[in-house]
Structure 1
């Protein structure tokens, strides 16, 4: 596996998702609170979404898995948009302006992942 030609920002992308995935296990209660109530098996969803983020974070650095990992990342970010909209409507503890900023940030992250599919 030759990862020497990856630009620094691909390593950054990988680290962001690996660390985010690890936090699903460090602070699962915080993540469980933001899972919309209409989604069943919220504990399992927190667990498996953490696993998915870690696997995707690793996958973007492995050339043979990179394209699949990037596509999975884009799909995951699109699915997570539902959580952001749910939080905007149902969360009182986080200031609305922060919740509003998360939505366009999600699209920036999607574009970032998509930009690697062009190579």
Structure 2
């Protein structure tokens, strides 16, 4: 199951990276105003997602896979302000935007995605305490 989740997460990040590069406009609209060079940031986040996905997909190089796991976890942490900003902007719209049914699960999913990147990459070995 761990391998399947690793491949699924790699595919998710690869697709997200391609979308960031091919269609950056939606990501620019949710970027907090304090982020410098927003267009460059969106493009570089796409590159980071693609490289992280490639690293995560490595079956042979455990150090590369672990580096990708840490990188993607940190990436997900760093983009969280954009998700929070999107939540605030969307909920301030007269029509409520995408609504709480979209944004609340997304907020709770972010720490899960961070943990998942670390777990599937082998950065968090789960061991049982000796009995």
Equivalenced residue count is 114
Q: Which moved more, 1:45-54 or 1:109-118?
A: 109-118
Describe the superposition over 1:66-91 as per-residue Cα deviations: whole angstroms up to 9, x where unpaired.
11110011111111111111112122
After the TM superposition, list the runs of 4 or more consecutive aligned residues in structure 1 that deviate by more than 3 angstroms. none
Distance 1:76 1:111 in 2: 12
Distance 1:46 1:110 in 2: 19
Query: What SS class does the counterpart of residue 69 from structure 1 fall into?
Result: helix
Distance 1:113 1:18 in 2: 13
Distance 1:84 1:96 in 2: 13
Instruction: Name the counterpart of 1:3.
Output: none
Deviation at 1:48, TM superposition (A): 0.3
Instruction: Name the counterpart of 1:8.
Output: 4
For 1:9-24, what aligned pairs fall within 5 Å after superposition?
9-24=5-20
Q: Which moved more, 1:51-60 or 1:31-40?
A: 31-40
Q: What root-mean-square deviation, in Å, do the aligned CA atoms of Structure 1 and Structure 2 show?
A: 1.5
Name structure 1 gaps, 5 residues minimum: 1-5
Is residue 2:94 matched to residue 1:88?
Answer: no
Structure whose residues are more often helix by fraction: 1
- Residue in structure 1 matching 2:111, options 101, 107, 112: 107
If the length of structure 2 is used for normalisation, what is the TM-score? 0.80
Is residue 2:21 matched to residue 1:25?
Answer: yes
Distance 1:25 1:68 in 2: 22
If the length of structure 1 is used for normalisation, what is the TM-score? 0.87
| Greater radius of gyration (CA) | 2
Q: Which moved more, 1:34-43 or 1:50-59?
A: 34-43
